[in-house]
């Protein structure tokens, strides 16, 4: 049933005139008559008594008037719900890399809870290759990842990258090191073939250097703990929540490349909500970087 026809019927009944209804709805009087006729044909009854006056409602019309008003009110409520972000409900399955967890994830979840108080977040924290594979299988709705991914079915937003730094145990605080000094001892970094790992390998190759030993670790918190124990020099996101008295950022004569970040989501019926969350992520990533550089 076309709700525009119901709206026209209710307007005529309330105003008592086809002409007044046409003016209220900004359509022609012929359009009003056509809509009423179409609704009467669908319902199999006459809604207005045309023998005496075209706008006098019949008994059948009066019987359905109240229900028609309830249907229109329900439609308005439905549209209001869909247009109000605060009414969004359900669950968003977000896959993300561990670097985001220890930098600005809490800020993002806080913002999502503020804007969408009825929305549940289900988080999967794994390396980029794993969450990308799960996303491709339909197991995740969104990604916060280090690799760009965009096609006809997928949207991708570039976020402010994470600044990376060299870290050592507290006893190394204040030391100035060369890249040659770094490669002389064990190096603790991210999973082999990950973006951070590839970046550091490329940096050493540019300088013609080869680390004596590289420990590749999936868990960023494990990287921090191993570094605190003096088991090597680590690469970590600057401003991460693992920085404490046991870790010190080192001055090395070669800066680490930034770690790129992207928000990826599927172009689906929920794309508007996912895009809104991506915008929140972009804000949080930028604010985190600004706080470090400020």
pLDDT tens readout for residues 206-219? 888 888 889 999 88
Q: Give pLDDT, residue 107.
A: 95
H/E run at residue 238: none
The predicted model gives 262-281 an average pLDDT of 88
Q: Is 216 exposed, middle or buried (0-12, 13-18, 19+ CB in 10 A)?
A: middle
Q: Give pLDDT, residue 61.
A: 86
Q: Give pLDDT, residue 269.
A: 62
CATH match of 3-83 with 3.90.940.20: no
Residue 189 φ then ψ, to 5°: -145, -170
The first and second tokens of residue 63, run together, are 């019987």
Domain boundaries, the chain: 3-83, 85-162+259-293, 164-252
Inform me whether the pLDDT recorded for 5 exceeds 80: yes
The predicted model gives 72-101 an average pLDDT of 77
Pick 31 or 212 by higher pLDDT: 31
Same fold for the pair 3-83 and 164-252: no
- Which class would CATH give 164-252? alpha beta
Q: Is the pTM of this model over 0.75?
A: no
Inform me whether the pLDDT recorded for 83 exceeds 70: no
Inform me whether the pLDDT recorded for 50 exceeds 80: no
User: Domain 85-162+259-293, what fold?
Assistant: D-Maltodextrin-Binding Protein; domain 2 (3.40.190)
**Dist. CA 20–CA 26, nearest whole Å:** 10
Q: 16: left (phi > 0), else alpha (psi -120 to 50), else beta?
A: left
């Amino acid at each position: 049933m076309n709700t525009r026809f119901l709206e026209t019927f209710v307007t005529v009944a309330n105003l008592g005139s086809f002409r007044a209804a046409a003016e209220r709805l900004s359509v022609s009087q012929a359009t009003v008559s056509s809509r009423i006729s179409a609704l009467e044909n669908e319902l199999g009854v006459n809604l207005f008594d045309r023998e005496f006056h075209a706008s006098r409602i019949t008994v059948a019309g009066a019987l359905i008037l109240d229900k028609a008003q309830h249907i229109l009110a329900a439609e308005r409520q439905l549209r209001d719900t869909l247009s109000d972000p605060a009414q969004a409900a359900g669950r968003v399955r977000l896959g993300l890399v561990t670097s985001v967890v220890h930098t600005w994830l809490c800020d993002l979840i806080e913002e999502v809870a503020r804007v969408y108080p009825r929305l549940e977040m289900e988080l999967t924290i794994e390396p980029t290759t794993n969450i990308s594979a799960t996303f491709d299988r339909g197991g995740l709705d969104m990604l916060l990842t280090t690799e760009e991914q965009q096609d006809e079915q997928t949207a991708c937003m570039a976020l402010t990258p994470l600044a990376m730094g060299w870290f050592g145990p507290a006893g190394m605080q204040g030391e100035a090191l060369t890249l040659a000094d770094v490669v002389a001892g064990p190096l603790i970094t991210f999973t082999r073939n990950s973006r951070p790992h590839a970046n550091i390998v490329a940096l050493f190759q540019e300088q013609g250097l080869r680390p004596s030993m590289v420990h590749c670790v999936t868990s960023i918190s494990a990287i921090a703990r191993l570094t605190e124990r003096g088991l090597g020099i680590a690469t970590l996101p600057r401003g991460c929540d693992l920085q404490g008295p046991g870790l010190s950022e080192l001055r090395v004569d070669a800066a680490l490349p930034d770690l790129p970040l992207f928000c990826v989501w599927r172009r689906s019926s929920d794309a508007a909500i996912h895009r809104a969350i991506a915008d929140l992520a972009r804000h949080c990533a930028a604010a985190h970087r600004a706080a470090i550089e400020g």
